[in-house]
């Protein structure tokens, strides 16, 4: 069995013994490492009728309806977090509930989230609160039909953040103003999957960059607002507000590893998709022409991240293609369902790794790469704010968790300052159009009172959380050959 140098240097003496004796914990995480799980309001609460997605959903396979009924069952959900020994719960507040009409604040909804926070606090669970997770109040389109493109919504978002900071600041220290601004801007303004349904991807500089710029602006203002208003240290660790972004990241690789053009395209795509938001928020480096020349265009934005949240699921291959998505000149290879064949004709290799129920390749090594890259790029504390698997059978979740956490441990051992891991998701939920993908540590029986049941993967995660590490037994049962 292995005993890593990191373990010897950092672990408390009592744990060194178990780490090195070969008996129990083999890969130990740093003391105080935050273990948790994540959810999003729209995906679990149910009946978010004032949100823009509510009417839009008619286009999807299924409607969200009562979702996982968590607006009602929030206390039970807090108990689920506790049952696995987790110390953090990442969830989101639904803006449209707090402000169902412009400048009209809903007292019942405001009180509801106080109740959620109290329910967590009574169980010693620290909240990590997302303020925007893909949805907006419907009324933002009354102000402007393309709100994030034209920017009117930035001021409105700021008002909402001020309210949240004032109301909840004494109960919350960890804040995430935006979940996956890259996925949201793509989804809503790039490929038209979310409202307002714009398709601007083919012309990213004209159609997507303004959206991204407005979202960075809104993040920076939220960052300042949260630090200004939330001066109460809720958990007594000396920090009143700790603000990050939940950034979607992928392991990006060339369609043809021998092609220099594909390798260069990987670099362009990674800068655009993975690093554009954190580059702007951490360094003030916003590339408004997508020429990637390292120009610092917005020094006033720099320093607006206290931590970087990484959300890792899979890998993506990229192929160089002159004239496509100009000036990026590339094709990001889709690897889902029927698209795989179409993209195959265009020169994208078929996925060759085992896949999740979403069709995403399972690639734990890429997790190591991305965490290392993020740490080396910014030297900011990293929190894994999402990582998980759609798995109907429940058989793939335990190996997924063990193998990804083993890679995360390797990244930490190699120097990355990773503070925590939030599994996506605490429970099965509405996966933006369908209930079929099942991401939960707990399954939800939608036909039977939304009963929650621990999955096999959830039990394994609980074991890891309890030990603050991965035992040699779990590595033997579920790990890849490198870690057995
Ligand atoms: C999102 C979640 C989503 C998950 C799985 C992330 O992109 O933040 O809302 O459910 O991935 O698709």
For the four alpha carbons of 30, 31, 32 and 38, in that order, the dihedral sign comes to positive
> Kind and range of the H or E element at 88?
strand 88-92
Average predicted confidence (pLDDT) for the chain: 94
> With pLDDT > 90 as the criterion, what percentage of the chain qualifies?
88
Going by C-alpha positions, the residue among 455, 442, 392 that lies closest to residue 73 is 442
Write out pLDDT tens, residues 117-146. 999 999 999 999 999 999 999 999 999 999
Rounded (10°) CA dihedral 32, 33, 37, 39: 90
- Does residue 192 sit in helix, strand or coil? coil
Between residues 289 and 379, the one the model is more confident about: 379
Residue to mutate, 44, 187, 194, 432, ligand 1, most ligand atoms under 8 Å from C-beta: 432
- Cα-to-centroid distance, 233 and ligand 1 (Å): 30
Q: Which residue has the tokens 């507000």?
A: 241
For the four alpha carbons of 196, 198, 201 and 203, in that order, the dihedral sign comes to negative
Least reliable range by pLDDT among 33-37, 117-121, 343-347, 464-468: 343-347
DSSP-assigned beta bridge partners for residue 178: 132
Q: CA 161 to CA 177: how far, in whole Å? A: 8
Distances (CA, A) of 433 to 54, 193, 194, 384, 443: 11, 10, 10, 25, 18
Residue 11 is predicted with a pLDDT of: 38
Going by C-alpha positions, the residue among 268, 246, 276 that lies closest to residue 377 is 276
Residue 293 is predicted with a pLDDT of: 83
Residues with CB under 6 Å of ligand 1 are 40, 43, 179-180, 183, 248, 311, 386, 424, 431
Angle, vertex CA 315, rays to CA 311 and CA 321, nearest 5 = 120
Residue whose CA lies nearest to ligand 1 atom number 10 = 431
Residue whose CA lies nearest to ligand 1 atom number 5 = 431
Residue whose CA lies nearest to ligand 1 atom number 3 = 431
pLDDT at 22 over 50: no
- Cα-to-centroid distance, 56 and ligand 1 (Å): 18
Q: Is the omega angle on the peptide bond into residue 277 within 30 degrees of 0, that is, cis?
A: no
| Core vs surface per residue 414-439: b (16+ CB within 10 A) or e | eebebbbbbbbbbbbbbbbbebebbb
Interval 220-247 mean pLDDT: 98
Residue 6 is predicted with a pLDDT of: 38
pLDDT at 5 over 50: no
Going by C-alpha positions, the residue among 309, 299, 267, 301 that lies closest to residue 129 is 309
Residue to mutate, 186, 191, 386, ligand 1, most ligand atoms under 8 Å from C-beta: 386
> Kind and range of the H or E element at 184?
helix 181-185
Ligand 1 atom closest to residue 179's alpha carbon, by position in its atom list: 8
DSSP for 107-163, written as a single string: HHHHHHHHHHHHHHHTTT-EEEEEEESS--BTTHHHH-SSHHHH-HHHHHHHHHHHH
- Cα-to-centroid distance, 254 and ligand 1 (Å): 24
Going by C-alpha positions, the residue among 90, 82, 97, 80 that lies closest to residue 42 is 97
Residue 291 is predicted with a pLDDT of: 87
Residue 3 is predicted with a pLDDT of: 36
Going by C-alpha positions, the residue among 434, 426, 484, 415 that lies closest to residue 6 is 415
Q: Are 367 and 404 contacting, i.e. CB atoms less than 8 angstroms apart?
A: yes
Residue 13 is predicted with a pLDDT of: 35
pLDDT at 400 over 50: yes
Q: CA 98 to CA 108: how far, in whole Å? A: 8
Residue 4 is predicted with a pLDDT of: 40
Q: Say how many residues make up the chain.
A: 484
- Cα-to-centroid distance, 252 and ligand 1 (Å): 18
Going by C-alpha positions, the residue among 264, 266, 297, 262 that lies closest to residue 283 is 297
- Cα-to-centroid distance, 186 and ligand 1 (Å): 13
pLDDT at 342 over 90: no
Residue 282's pLDDT band (boundaries 50, 70, 90)?
A: very high
Residue whose CA lies nearest to ligand 1 atom number 9 = 40
Write out pLDDT tens, residues 42-94. 999 999 999 999 999 999 999 999 999 999 999 999 999 999 999 999 999 99
DSSP for 207-258, written as a single string: HTHHHHHHHHHHHHHHHHHHHHH----SSSSS-S-EEEEEEEEEEEEESSTT
Q: CA 330 to CA 323: how far, in whole Å? A: 8
First to last CA, the chain: 8
Helix/strand/coil (H/E/C) assignment for every residue in 364-415: HHHHHHHHHHHHHHHCCCEEEEECCCCCCCCCCHHHHHHHHHHHHHHHHHCC
- Does residue 26 sit in helix, strand or coil? strand
User: Residues with Cβ < 8 Å from 14, sequence gap 6 or more?
Assistant: none
Ligand 1 atom closest to residue 431's alpha carbon, by position in its atom list: 10
- Cα-to-centroid distance, 250 and ligand 1 (Å): 13
User: How many C-beta atoms surround the C-beta of residue 8 within 10 A?
Assistant: 12
pLDDT at 23 over 50: no
Q: CA 118 to CA 79: how far, in whole Å? A: 12
Q: Which domains does the chain have, with CATH numbers?
A: 38-357 (3.20.20.80)
Predicted TM-score (pTM) of the model is 0.95
- Cα-to-centroid distance, 3 and ligand 1 (Å): 35
User: How many C-beta atoms surround the C-beta of residue 292 within 10 A?
Assistant: 18
Write out pLDDT tens, residues 160-218. 999 999 999 999 999 999 999 999 999 999 999 999 999 999 999 999 999 999 999 99
Residue 18's pLDDT band (boundaries 50, 70, 90)?
A: very low
């Amino acid at each position: 069995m292995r005993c890593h140098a990191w373990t010897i240097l950092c672990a408390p003496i009592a744990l060194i013994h178990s780490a090195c004796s070969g008996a129990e914990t083999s890969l130990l995480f740093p003391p105080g490492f935050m273990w948790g799980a994540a959810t999003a309001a729209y995906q679990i609460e149910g009946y978010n009728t004032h949100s823009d997605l509510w009417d839009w959903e008619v286009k999807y396979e299924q409607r969200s309806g009562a979702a996982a009924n968590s607006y009602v069952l929030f206390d039970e959900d807090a108990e689920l977090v506790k049952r696995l020994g987790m110390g953090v719960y990442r969830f989101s507040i639904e803006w449209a509930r707090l402000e169902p009409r412009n400048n009209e604040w809903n007292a019942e909804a405001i009180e509801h989230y106080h109740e959620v926070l109290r329910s967590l606090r009574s169980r010693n669970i620290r909240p990590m609160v997302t303020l925007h997770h893909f949805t907006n109040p419907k009324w933002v389109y009354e102000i402007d039909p393309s709100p994030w493109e034209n920017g009117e919504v930035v001021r409105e978002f700021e008002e909402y953040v001020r309210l949240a900071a004032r109301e909840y600041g004494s109960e919350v220290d960890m804040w995430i103003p935006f979940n996956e601004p890259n996925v949201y801007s793509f989804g809503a303004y790039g490929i038209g999957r979310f409202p307002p349904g714009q398709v601007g991807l083919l012309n990213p500089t004209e159609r997507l960059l303004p959206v991204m710029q407005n979202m960075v602006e809104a993040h920076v203002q939220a960052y300042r607002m949260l630090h200004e208003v939330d001066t109460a240290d809720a958990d007594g660790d000396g920090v009143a507000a700790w603000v990050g972004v939940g950034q979607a990241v992928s392991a990006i690789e060339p369609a043809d590893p021998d092609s220099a053009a594909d390798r260069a395209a990987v670099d362009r795509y990674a800068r655009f998709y993975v690093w554009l938001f954190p580059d702007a928020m951490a360094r003030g480096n916003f590339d408004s022409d997508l020429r990637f020349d390292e120009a610092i265009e917005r020094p006033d934005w720099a320093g607006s991240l206290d931590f970087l949240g990484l959300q890792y699921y899979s890998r993506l291959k990229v192929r160089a293609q002159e004239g496509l998505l100009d000036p990026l000149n590339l094709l990001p290879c889709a690897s889902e369902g029927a698209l795989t064949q179409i993209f195959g004709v265009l020169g994208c290799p078929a996925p060759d790794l085992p896949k999740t129920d979403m069709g995403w390749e399972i690639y734990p090594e890429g997790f190591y790469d991305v965490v290392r890259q993020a740490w080396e790029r910014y030297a900011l504390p990293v929190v894994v704010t999402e990582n998980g698997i759609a798995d109907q059978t429940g058989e793939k979740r335990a190996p997924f968790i063990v193998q990804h956490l083993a890679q995360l441990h390797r990244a930490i051992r190699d120097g990355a300052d990773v503070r925590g891991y939030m599994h996506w998701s605490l429970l099965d939920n509405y996966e933006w159009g369908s209930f079929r993908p099942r991401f939960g540590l707990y399954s939800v029986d939608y036909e039977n009172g939304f009963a929650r049941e621990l999955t096999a993967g959830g039990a394994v995660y609980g074991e890891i959380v309890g030990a603050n590490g991965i035992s040699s037994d779990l590595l033997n049962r579920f790990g890849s050959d490198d870690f057995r």
